[in-house]
Structure 1
Amino acid sequence: MTTVLIVDDQPLQRYGFRMLLESVAGTDVVGEAVHGAEAVRKTAELRPDVVLMDVRMPGMDGIEATRRIAAAGGRSRVLVLTTFDLDEYVHAALRAGASGFLLKDARPEELLAGIRAVAVGDAVIAPALTRRLLDEFARYVPARRDAAEDPGLGSLTDREREILVAVGKGWTNGEIAARFVLSESTVKTHVGRVLAKIGARDRVQAVIFAYDHGLARPNDDRTGGG
């Protein structure tokens, strides 16, 4: 059973999400919050698997709430819901520790799949915007860090570094497996080791790390099989 906390200041939006989530087996809405401060408090209290987080709310917004939830180090993962014209908020939310984002007009099956993926530790980025966000992300990246000074990066094996670069390009495990002629289970193991060594919470944070250290850049080829 995947437990979900819905965070949105719009009553009809919360009602719609609750109706959708409670209509499918395996998903349980354990609570609702109308602003960021309440989201932080209820996440600590209810410990949901996934926090479905709106970005713009009165008082504490979704970005600050995400930052506090991630900093608490609990098991709850944040899935941000946003609109197409809020790229700067998305980038800030991802840096704050969100495990991904989806558009508010995503199809019901996309939202449900996203919640399930985040619940098991994967990262989710709206499929139609993955490449666009990876390209646009570079605009929000600070000055490149010196890779030689990063102990996490220095501890990677050659294969793990290749995997990190591929993750930074937005490749899926299947695409990485095809490119390097590995099984998907082997790729998953490599990704897990990479995340642990660089101190990344999930794949989204690994993408940020790759951009920060100059391992990924705008217009990199995203297709892993070609």
Structure 2
Amino acid sequence: MMVVDDHPIWREAVARDLTDEGFSVVATADGVAAARRRAEVVKPDVVLMDMRLSDGDGARATAEVLAVSPNTRILVLSASDERDDVLEAVKAGATGYLVKSASKPELVDAVRATLEGRAVFTPGLAGLVLGEYRRIAQSPKAKDGDAATPRLTERETDILRYVAKGLTAKQIAAKLSLSHRTVENHVQATFRKLQVANRVEATRYAIEHGLDK
């Protein structure tokens, strides 16, 4: 993984903490340009991204990193919990957003969840993001596309709801009294129908169509 932050002491401390927890920190960067250059070389699984950088902001850096390493997942770790910062980061492609007041165990859990493809947000910020997606989904433009919406079975819809809530396949299997393999098959079938690549995109679909409730 890679840590992007313009404060060297904080950047190195976070990198050290993550290394101590068994993560492989392959690079660090202090700004947009450096993040792009290093991501293009090391292709990190996860980037821990600050929103205030030496030569721009975290949203721009997120877009730049994903342009050269599209399979990378971006988890924002920022001092800011401003609505615009959160939404800009998510729109740029970030899969989660934590504020820097998060504890070390919370950060470690968030990085692990991000590696698994789950969306992670500081409590309170998730509601903000959900609200924004609902607003977009209810716009006239979104409604115009309803006819193209794929049809999911009742079982697929149930499973997608649980995916949107961050449950693992094993947890979903227990909830629905199904085998782990059956749930995984349903998840993959749902992803194919929705033409999404992973749980993060599926979660966004669920949010946009009100399945996260």
TM-score range, shorter chain: 0.7 to 0.9
Aligned-partner Cα distance in 2 for 1:87–1:178 = 36
Q: Name which of 123, 136, 156 aligns with 1:128.
A: 123
5-14 vs 93-102, which deviates more? 93-102
Q: Is contact 1:100–1:204 with CA below 8 Å preserved after alignment?
A: no
Q: Name which of 165, 180, 186 aligns with 2:182.
A: 186
Q: Is contact 1:91–1:140 with CA below 8 Å preserved after alignment?
A: no
Aligned-partner Cα distance in 1 for 2:128–2:185 = 26
Note the C-alpha offset of 1:8.
0.7
Aligned-partner Cα distance in 1 for 2:156–2:63 = 28
Deviations for 1:47-79, whole angstroms, at most 9, x for unmatched residues? 122111112324332112222333445432211
Please list every run of 5 or more consecutive structure 2 residues that lacks an aligned counterpart in the other structure.
Answer: none
Match of 1:215 in 2: 210
The percent of aligned pairs where both chains have the same amino acid is 32
Match of 1:76 in 2: 72
Match of 1:66 in 2: 62
C-alpha spacing 1:9/1:40, structure 2 compared with 1 (3 Å): same
C-alpha spacing 1:177/1:64, structure 2 compared with 1 (3 Å): same
Deviations for 1:184-213, whole angstroms, at most 9, x for unmatched residues? 44334423332343233433332322233x
Q: Name which of 105, 123, 132 aligns with 1:137.
A: 132
The AA in structure 2 aligned to 1:35 is G
199-208 vs 14-23, which deviates more? 199-208
Match of 2:101 in 1: 105
Instruction: With the length of structure 1 as denominator, give the TM-score of the two structures.
Output: 0.75
Question: RMSD of aligned C-alpha atoms?
Answer: 2.9
SS at match of 1:67: helix
State the number of aligned residues: 208
Note the C-alpha offset of 1:171.
5.0
Q: Is contact 1:83–1:103 with CA below 8 Å preserved after alignment?
A: yes
Aligned-partner Cα distance in 2 for 1:137–1:97 = 15
The AA in structure 2 aligned to 1:61 is D
Match of 1:149 in 2: 148
SS at match of 2:123: helix
Q: Name which of 5, 28, 38 aligns with 1:42.
A: 38
Deviations for 1:160-202, whole angstroms, at most 9, x for unmatched residues? 233224434x252366434433234433442333234323343
Deviations for 1:69-98, whole angstroms, at most 9, x for unmatched residues? 334454322111134622332233223222
Please list every run of 5 or more consecutive structure 1 residues that lacks an aligned counterpart in the other structure.
Answer: 221-226
Q: Name which of 18, 23, 32 aligns with 2:20.
A: 23
The AA in structure 1 aligned to 2:136 is V
Q: Is contact 2:77–2:100 with CA below 8 Å preserved after alignment?
A: yes
C-alpha spacing 1:40/1:195, structure 2 compared with 1 (3 Å): farther
Match of 1:33 in 2: 29
Q: Is contact 1:51–1:76 with CA below 8 Å preserved after alignment?
A: yes
SS at match of 1:28: coil
Q: Is contact 1:53–1:79 with CA below 8 Å preserved after alignment?
A: yes
Is the aligned partner of 1:204 residue 2:203?
no
C-alpha spacing 1:86/1:15, structure 2 compared with 1 (3 Å): same
100-109 vs 171-180, which deviates more? 171-180
Aligned-partner Cα distance in 2 for 1:100–1:189 = 26
Q: Is contact 1:70–1:98 with CA below 8 Å preserved after alignment?
A: no
